[in-house]
């Protein structure tokens, strides 16, 4: 598989340290493990929001962080899309503005058009001018997804994107993310501690235990027993 992202780094934040080592290609790779294992911290380091204490990160073959060579490409230049657990939308701007602010170039009219196109694509076009704060959790995540995609990212980072949502909404959004990843031929890393996320839409899973990664495994969609076997839960 071609490598969309590769990490071999020790990442420290406060008293917490995680040793992350994995590669991921196109498609959806789940980072799975208990809360506090360091999954979100890994995403933050890939995004450049944290600097690794040691090691390196490469996106699309480009080294974006390497402590031995003092490389640190700023977050702004890494061309990523990111979705957070609670959407993290600007409530003082409309959903359309939120997406429009992530479109990277062009005059404002064309940026708005592009934003509207993305909102339509995530089935949130009718929310374009709503008050952002009044949107439901699922609606906010759709807008956040449109925002993450609007910049034409080379890698999508989703940090527990569904954990605050109810089950039916989760199912819908998993389908949406799966469709978008396939149609844009994207690579996506999804932090989750919900097994159902993995069986429903992941191609690979990186297993975490507290403080480090254990390895990467391919999973077949819809085969819950694959993941159970990996975790030693199989009968």
Residue 133 in the binding site for other proteins (CB under 8 A): no
Q: Which is nearer to other proteins, 33 or 151 (CB)?
A: 151
The b/e string for 9-30 (b: 16+ C-beta within 10 A; e otherwise) is bbbbbeeeebbbbbbbebbbbb
Q: Which is nearer to other proteins, 97 or 197 (CB)?
A: 97
Region of residue 36 (left: phi > 0; alpha: psi -120 to 50; beta: else): left
Q: Which residues contact 109 (CB under 8 A, 6 or more apart)?
A: none
Is there a contact between 48 and 75 (Cβ–Cβ < 8 Å)?
A: yes
Q: Which is nearer to other proteins, 44 or 202 (CB)?
A: 44
Nearest Cα residue to 46 out of 219, 220, 213, 163: 213
Q: Which is nearer to other proteins, 131 or 221 (CB)?
A: 131
Residue 79 in the binding site for other proteins (CB under 8 A): yes
Decide: helix, strand or coil at residue 9: strand
Residue 136 in the binding site for other proteins (CB under 8 A): no
Question: In whole angstroms, how close is the CB of 104 to other proteins at the nearest point?
Answer: 5
Q: Which of 61, 62, 77, 218: binder of other proteins (CB under 8 A)?
A: 77
Question: In whole angstroms, how close is the CB of 81 to other proteins at the nearest point?
Answer: 7
Residue 231 in the binding site for other proteins (CB under 8 A): no
Rounded CA gap, 137 and 16, in Å? 30
Residue 49 in the binding site for other proteins (CB under 8 A): yes
Which residue is listed with tokens 């009718």?
A: 126
Residue 86 in the binding site for other proteins (CB under 8 A): yes
Residue 82 in the binding site for other proteins (CB under 8 A): yes
Helix-helix angle 167-184:137-150, to 10 degrees: 10
Residue 78 in the binding site for other proteins (CB under 8 A): yes
Decide: helix, strand or coil at residue 184: helix
117 — phi, psi (to 5°)? Answer: -60, -40
Is there a contact between 194 and 161 (Cβ–Cβ < 8 Å)?
A: no
Residue 84 in the binding site for other proteins (CB under 8 A): yes
Q: Which of 102, 146, 181, 207: binder of other proteins (CB under 8 A)?
A: 102
Question: In whole angstroms, how close is the CB of 171 to other proteins at the nearest point?
Answer: 25
Residues 144-183 that bind other proteins (CB under 8 A): 144, 147-148, 150-151, 157
Binding site for other proteins (CB under 8 A): 44, 47-49, 74-82, 84, 86, 88, 90, 92, 101-102, 104, 144, 147-148, 150-151, 157
């Amino acid at each position: 598989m071609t490598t969309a992202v590769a990490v071999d780094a020790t990442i420290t934040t406060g008293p917490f340290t995680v040793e992350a080592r994995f590669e991921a290609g196109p498609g959806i790779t789940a980072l799975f493990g208990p809360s506090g294992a360091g999954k979100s911290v890994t995403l933050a380091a890939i995004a450049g929001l944290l600097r690794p204490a040691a090691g390196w990160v490469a996106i699309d073959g480009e080294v974006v962080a390497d402590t031995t060579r003092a490389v640190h490409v700023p977050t702004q230049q890494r061309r990523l899309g990111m979705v957070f657990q609670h959407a993290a939308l600007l409530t003082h701007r409309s959903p359309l503005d939120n997406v429009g602010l992530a479109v990277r170039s062009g005059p404002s009219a064309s940026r708005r058009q592009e934003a509207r196109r993305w909102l339509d694509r995530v089935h949130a076009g009718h929310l374009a001018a709503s008050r952002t704060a009044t949107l439901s959790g699922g609606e906010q995540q759709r807008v956040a997804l449109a925002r993450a995609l609007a910049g034409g990212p080379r890698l999508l980072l989703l940090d527990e994107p569904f954990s605050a949502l109810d089950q039916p909404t989760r199912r819908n959004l998993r389908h949406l993310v799966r469709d978008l990843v396939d149609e844009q031929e994207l690579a996506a890393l999804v932090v989750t501690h919900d097994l159902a996320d993995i069986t429903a839409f992941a191609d690979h899973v990186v297993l975490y235990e507290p403080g480090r990664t254990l390895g990467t495994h391919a999973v077949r969609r819809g085969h819950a027993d694959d993941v159970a076997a990996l975790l030693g839960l199989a009968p």
